[in-house]
Chain A
Amino acid sequence: MSIDENRAETESTVHDQKLITLTRGPVGIAGLIVTAGIIGFLNGSLGIAVGGVVLAIGLVTPAPLAFGVGVAGLLVSTDSSLVPLTIGGIALASVFVDQAMTSPTDSNLLAAIGLIGVILAGVTGALLTVWPIPIVAVTITLGVAGSVYLIHRYERVTLGLVSDIQ
């Protein structure tokens, strides 16, 4: 259970009358508003409606779900110009940043998000110049999976949980 869910659960218990509880902090709310605005800007009245739904769902759901709904909202647009989509993507990333900020953790997670985000965005952009989107998507996906697995192995080795035979 994520911290946001924990917080939501606790607040729900304390305030029984509250049916819906905000799970976003100020940064996340701001990012969602920007995203909803971009969706509205790109798609007219339909975009405003979709943006509203993205904002409403994003305010009350866990970070990964809010991010997914936001990206789905951006996909409604038929305009594939990169500038508004990039702004919308950066704004949506605020839901993760927001969760990292509201969690009882140090600034290392925020720094890691920033650094890895920049690297991954740079790599994606660079790959797009040479490969088509599907291959870039598969490459990024495999790269992320491999990175997480490497971190997992590194962690187990440093903790002494891996025997010599393994």
Chain B
Amino acid sequence: MQATRHFWATALVGLLFSLLAVGGAQPAVLIGVAGVGTWLIATAWNAARTFQTLGSELTVEYTLETATTYVDSTTTATVTVTRPAATANTPVSVTVTLPPGLQLATSTPQPLTLAAGETTATRSLPIHTTVAGQFELPEPTIELSDVLGLYTETIPTTTGPRLTVLPPEPAVHIGKGGQSYGSAFGEHSTDRPGPGIAVRELRQYTAEEDAINIDWKSTARLGEPYVRETEGETDRHTALLVDHRAATGQSAGTETPLEYIREAALAMTAGAVDAGDPLSLWTVGADGITETIAPGSTPTTYNRVRSALLALEPTGTAGRRPPSARTQSLTETLPTDSQIGETLRPYAATTARDGVLDDVFLKAVQRARQELGTGAWLVLVTTDADPAQLRESVTVATAGGAAVLVLIVPTVLFGTNRLDAISDTYEAYTEFEELRRQLDNHPRVTALEVAPRERLQTVLSSNRSTHTPTGTQ
């Protein structure tokens, strides 16, 4: 409880009377001393009770629009103060402070004030991020005042939310063989008649159908009743299945494949938002599915998907080669011209397939396809760290005639940047491109590469003079 200047002014009056009593010895002066003393004690007691009640019943909700964002972007914090009507006779102010690296984007008025009589107040604070890192937002400061303005108190409140600020968005290339690919989104023609705007065909009216379907302008022009059929338009459920296992965090540089996986998935989310498509999310970590977000086309669902994508971190231990790759190497090392090699090869191949079938990403694809059916457009966002697993996953994803989009981050582009190794990188990239083309050759599969634009251009251009790029379409 801190005294205000009004308290000190009142106390000074009491002290003057006290001095007068000491000097003048008049009993009337004691009335002043006792009167002012009564006032100060009574108001202090009343203020203490008020602050105790508010301390236990005042609630402050401090939330962030998204827990993760990028440098030089803006996110919104919302502060809501609520108190019961019975305690609403004093003013309350809430001040939010930000740590270095974060600043209020506009001249937002501070503090948030709850005047006497008001029970709730909310304020949105646009926060601009200037540096990357993890920020623990300080708890808001709540300043209480008593009803007479003689005392104030600052009380603790809920801890502030945590905000993760990622480095600037990477320049992402999405395409085929180094060539950019158009948006996977837009209007989705169903190739079926139905409600829509685009004209599909003009046909003669049949007596069985409703007369409301007759297109009177065409009828007047052609002299017979005609019906104008339009292209059916539909919402397409986009199901994102995003890989964030250990391989997505492996990189010799500062950028990791996961950053590009995230960007690709965010781009798909933005496309779904633009088209108003239902969107769902499945994220796959080292131990299996880490998060699922049910299909929805509401802003809440889109925001949840964005937040989940922004919060993704690589999981599991990096460095181990996938089981399928290990057993595949074993198959390759078996001698081809000996009896023992011929005897062991089938077992090794079976082990390789078993290794793939145990893969958590493949299991996630199986589960997603099982739960979503063939109606959903499955989008796999992963790396080429385990080609056998990727092939098998795409096979499972296309089962039942379903269409699949595969966004693959070539891990080779996250290896060493040494100039003397660039030709090796190019060779490895052509292998990746071969894999992508194999997948893309499937009639219901669109396989695209997701890569750091500059790094990819460097790899392609450095070899253009000495190599003919065989892997491009």
Contact = CB atoms under 8 A, between A and B. Distances in A.
B31 A86 contact: yes
A86 B26 CA distance: 13
Contacts of B147: 3, 103-105, 109
A113 B20 contact: no
A151 interface: yes
A137 B18 contact: yes
Contacts, number: 183
A92 B155 contact: no
B266 interface: no
B33 A152 contact: no
A2 B149 contact: yes
B401 to A, nearest CB: 64
B39 A71 contact: no
B46 interface: yes
B56 to A, nearest CB: 9
B45 A71 contact: no
Given A109-B46, A113-B42, A134-B22, A155 B1 contact: yes
B37 A64 contact: no
Interface in B21-63: 21-49, 51-52, 55
Given A1-B149, A113-B42, A151-B48, A92 B89 contact: no
Contact of B117 (A104, A128, A143, A160): A104
Most B CB contacts (10 A, CB to CB) among A80, A99, A152 go to A152
Contacts of B22: 134, 137-138
Interface residues of A, number: 61
Interface in A53-109: 62-65, 67-68, 71, 74-75, 77, 80, 82, 85-86, 88-89, 92-93, 96, 99-100, 103-106, 108-109
Given A141-B15, A160-B156, A64 B39 contact: yes
Contacts of A75: 20, 24, 26, 28-29
B26 A80 contact: yes
Contacts of A77: 28
A89 B52 contact: no
A80 B28 contact: yes
B252 to A, nearest CB: 49
27 contacts: A2-B150, A5-B149, A62-B6, A63-B39, A67-B39, A68-B13, A68-B32, A89-B35, A109-B46, A112-B41, A112-B42, A113-B39, A117-B42, A120-B38, A128-B27, A136-B30, A137-B29, A140-B30, A141-B14, A141-B33, A147-B44, A148-B41, A158-B48, A159-B51, A159-B52, A159-B155, A161-B156
Interface of A: 1-3, 5-6, 62-65, 67-68, 71, 74-75, 77, 80, 82, 85-86, 88-89, 92-93, 96, 99-100, 103-106, 108-109, 112-113, 116-117, 120-121, 124, 128, 132-134, 136-138, 140-141, 143-144, 147-148, 151-152, 154-156, 158-161
